Structure 1
Amino acid sequence: MTEAEFSWPLRVYIEDTDAGGIVYYVNYLKYMERARTEFMREQGFGKDYVFNLNLMFVVRDVQINYQLPARLDDELQATARVIEVGAANIVFEQAVLRGAESLAQAQVNIVSVRRDNTRPTRVPAAIRSALSTA
Structure 2
Amino acid sequence: MQWKNSLAVLCLTVSPALALAEPEAGDRLFTLSGSGASDSGFDNNTTSISFDLGQFYSDHTVFGIRQSVGFADSDNDSSWNGATRVFGDYHFDAGKWQPFIGANIGGIYGDGVDETFFAGPEAGVKYYVKP
TM-score (norm 1): 0.31
Relative contact order higher in (CA < 8 Å, ≥ 6 apart): 1
Q: Which structure carries more helix by proportion?
A: 1
Bigger radius of gyration, 1 or 2? 2
